[in-house]
Amino acid sequence: MYAYDDYDHALVNARVAEFRDQVNRRLSGELTEEEFRPLRLMNGVYLQLHAYMLRVAVPYGTLSADQLRKLAHIARKYDKGYGHFTTRQNIQFNWPKLVDVPDILDELADVEMHAIQTSGNCIRNVTTDQFAGAAADEVADPRPYAELIRQWSTFHPEFTFLPRKFKIAITGAGADRAAVKWHDIGLVLKKNDAGEIGFAVIVGGGMGRTPVIGKTIRDFLPEADLLSYLEAILRVYNEQGRRDNKYKARIKILVDALGAEEYARLTEEEWQAIRHHPVDVPAEEVARIHAFFKAPPLPVLSDDVPTVDAFAEKNFLFAAWLKNNVSAHKVPGHVNITISLKPHGGIPGDASHSQMDLVAALADRYSQGEVRVSHEQNLILPHVAKKDLPAIWADLDEAGLGTANAGLLTDVIACPGLDYCALANARSIPLAQSISARFDDIKRLMDIGPLKIKISGCINSCGHHHAGHIGILGVDRKGEESYQLLLGGSGAEDASKAAILGPGFDEAGIVDAVEKVVAVYLGEREDGEEFLSTYRRLGPDIFKEAVYGTH
Amino acid sequence: MAKKISGPQMVIANRLDDGRVVFLTSSGDWSARAADAAVADDDVSVDALRSVASASEAANRVLSVEVIEADVHNGVPHPAHMKFAMQAKGPSVRADLGYQVSPDWER
């Protein structure tokens, strides 16, 4: 993992001291809310429905055990005993008092964490594959590049007041687990014919009220040119992006207006003008950053572990967890574990302080002190020896963290929705709970197979409904919560936009509709065909007929 | 100028220091209970509530002040719109938290 140097420490500590002063001035009345609001947002402090909310950055979804323990401590001491992991691999605390926030930030700084640039029209936390550096299907570890981008973009004076917020995602694997095509910039690590590392560069993706899948503007960008090329993309956007209408201010609107080819040309022109300026960092600094992400020295072990097989034979729930929540590691005899934060009937993404402490302890013991946060709101233990799986599962299961549903229908993404969020029009969490309670049967879920349900409580799409195999969007219909059903989206390498199936439903109706959609799939699927493929093969009509009975 | 009102109104805000939801009472103070809220039925009394709330906001006691529609049953007011009703009750998915448990929570 990356470790702060003196410069990082000084920068974060200075920011905490500055914000402490700003909070004091706000509380004393020296600053009005109008003056203070942009300052608190730059430090991740929102005002939500019930309280302030603090969004803490988890850089590219990577946490140390000590950092996770600190988050548990903050949940216990300053909040109501829990935190909420988000679709941007961050964590949000729902109940901090403004007066406590400087102390919270001080405590975070002790473990090299902060809330800088988790809000505002700047470059936000870079997201990536939750299995980065550990996945069997990886070309290269995206985290060193994400860290480079973090350092380049932190307090970047030119990009502090962009037309709108800006999100970058990187994947280093063939399977896109970071939804890169749905980001303002998506980067896909690849090798060229000479075996050199570089990136495919995708721009102009985004969700919100205008969902757009990003377009590739460069097939292969050498890794050494990454920062100068990103700077060129951002410069074009910063200069030409709309500032007259916040709903048309994201880069996706500009790329659409200009066309991807023209955007690529303008970027190239800008890049040629700046690329020889000292934007890209020297090779020795790149090497220094890469060294922090060196793969842990894992022994090569056998993938056949009879004790694990024997335990699985006796215990169906463990066997199911082994199949669904455990994935291949690049080192034989090792695996990556997805810890589901989606207990059936529970709140997606929430973890109690004691659960966070447990995961930190397991990380220390079994996963090289590392934990990851996925954009699907789960936690990951990477680098685990396969032989340790039964013991880990038993501890997780006892703490309510052993649900064997990763990647299945009840592994629902849901935004906080109207239960917490000041922007929401409808609740999201209760729908996720109703759906997971309705499908509370692991055998049935495994029969249904991979199926991603994503729920947003408003058009801002924090719950990624546009990218759901089944997407649900909550709207306010004359003061009542109403839910639209969308089908056919994907956030993976085969990214697609979900389409609205028909009129909306109330809460009970939408759960019934999901069940009808699943029934059509089960009746129509071909051998081994997953939900999304069946939908793409059949189109929406048969699903529409089942849900609305139009004939 | 304040817009013309329709039906009973109440004032909701968040406390500055901790962000908790509060309602303006007839004594000009703020209460965590929606039931304690002052209700205004006409333009003049709504303007009066608004001006008390604005003064409190200017004095940095609260922020995010809004005049909202109230449902009044048996003389007890409650926010009419679901968003503000959610603020009065706390998150529906955590009945162990928020004002359902204790309106004076942590004060």
Q: Is A122 inside a domain boundary?
A: no
Residues A154 and A80 occupy one common structural domain: no
Q: How far apart are the C-alpha atoms of A276 and A228, rounded to whole Å?
A: 8
Do the Cβ atoms of A481 and B19 come within 8 Å? no
Verify whether the Cβ–Cβ distance A29 to B83 is below 8 Å.
no
Answer yes or no: are the C-beta atoms of A437 and A357 closer than 8 Å: no
Query: What average pLDDT score do residues A25-46 get?
Result: 96
Q: Which residues pair with residue A191 across a beta bridge?
A: A197
Are residues A351 and A486 located together in one domain of the fold?
no
Beta carbons of B17 and A419 less than 8 Å apart = no
For residue A327, what is the domain's CATH number?
A: 3.90.480.20
Give the one of B59, B82, B87 whose C-beta lies nearest to A50's C-beta: B87
B44 close to A (CB below 8 A): no
Q: How many CB atoms lie within 10 A of CB A277?
A: 9
Domain boundaries, chain B: 9-100
On whether both A17 and A50 belong to a single domain, the answer is: yes
Q: Is A36 on the interface with B (CB under 8 A)?
A: no
Q: Select from A99, A419, A420 the Cβ nearest to the Cβ of B17.
A: A99
Q: Which chain B residues are within 8 Å of A29, Cβ to Cβ?
A: 59-60
Instruction: State the pTM of this model.
Output: 0.96
The closest alpha carbon to B14, from A41, A95, A100, belongs to A95
Residues of A in contact with B87 (CB under 8 A): 49-50
pLDDT value at B103 more than 60: no
* A540: pLDDT strictly greater than 60: yes
pLDDT band for A550, please (50, 70, 90 cuts).
low
Question: pLDDT tens digit string along A444-466?
Answer: 999 999 999 999 999 999 999 99
Number of domains chain A is built from: 4
Q: Please say if the pLDDT value at position B3 is more than 80.
A: no
Q: A-chain residues within 8 Å CB-CB of B97?
A: 80, 95
Query: A81 and A166, same structural domain?
Result: no
All residues at 6 or more sequence positions from A493 whose CB lies less than 8 Å from its CB, including other chains: A174, A175, A176, A181
Q: Which DSSP state fits A44?
A: T
Q: Is B16 on the interface with A (CB under 8 A)?
A: yes
> For residue range A218-257, what is the model confidence (pLDDT) as tens digits?
999 999 999 999 999 999 999 999 999 999 999 999 999 9
Last residue of a domain, which of A353, A375, A398? A398
The pLDDT tens digits for A475-488 are 999 989 999 999 99
Is residue A407 domain-resident?
no
Single out the residue of A132, A93, A179 nearest to residue A375, CA to CA. Answer: A179
Residue of A22, A50, A421, A434 for testing the chain B interface, max B β-carbons within 10 Å? A50
Whether the CB of A77 is below 8 Å from some CB of chain B: the reply is no
Q: Tell me: do A376 and A284 sit in the same domain.
A: no
Q: Is residue A532 domain-resident?
A: yes
Residue A551 has pLDDT above 80, yes or no: no
CA distance A137 to A248: 37
Proportion of chain A above pLDDT 70, given as a percent: 100
pLDDT for A134 equals 96
Domain that holds residue A42: 6-110
> What pLDDT does B5 receive?
64
Q: How many Cβ atoms sit within 10 Å of the Cβ of residue B107? A: 9
| Cβ separation B86–A33 shorter than 8 A | no
B95 touches chain A (CB under 8 A): no
Tell me if A299 is assigned to some domain: no
A101 in the same domain as A11: yes
Please state which of the ranges A171-180, A462-471, B93-102 shows the lowest mean pLDDT: B93-102
- Tell whether the model's pLDDT for residue B58 goes beyond 60: yes
Query: Do the domain assignments include residue A25?
Result: yes
**Do the domain assignments include residue A86?**
yes
Taking CB atoms and an 8 Å cutoff, what residues of chain B touch A430?
92-93
CB contact under 8 A, B82 and A418: yes
Instruction: Name the closest residue on chain B to residue A418, using Cα atoms.
Output: B83
Query: Does residue A491 register a pLDDT over 50?
Result: yes
CA–CA min distance B41, chain A (Å): 21
Same domain, A154 and A280: yes
- Of residues A441 and A283, which shows the higher confidence score? A441
Q: Compute the mean pLDDT over every residue in chain A, rounded to the nearest whole number.
A: 97
> At A398, is the pLDDT very low, low, confident or very high (cuts 50, 70, 90)?
very high
Q: Looking at the predicted structure, is the pLDDT value of residue B107 above 90? A: no
Same domain, A487 and A538: yes
Strands A52-56 and A62-64: unpaired
Checking if the pLDDT of B102 tops 70, the result is no
First vs last Cα of chain A: how many Å apart?
A: 58
Torsions phi, psi for A479 (to 5 deg)? 85, 0
Instruction: Compute the nearest-CA separation of A102 from chain B (Å).
Output: 13
pLDDT band at B1 (very low <50, low <70, confident <90, very high): very low
Yes or no, beta carbons of B92 and A52 under 8 Å apart: no
Q: Does A27 touch chain B (CB under 8 A)?
A: yes
Q: Complex ipTM above 0.90? A: yes
Same domain (yes/no): A11, A94: yes
DSSP characters over B37-87: ---B-SHHHHHHHHHHHHHHHHTTSEEEEEEEEEEEETTEEEESSHHHHHH
A154 and A226 fall within a common domain: yes
- Domain boundary residue among A398, A423, A449? A398
Q: What number of C-beta contacts closer than 8 Å exist between A and B?
A: 68
Kindly list the residues from chain B whose CB atom is less than 8 angstroms away from the CB atom of residue A49. Answer: 21, 83, 86-87
State pLDDT tens for residues A520-535. 999 999 999 999 999 9
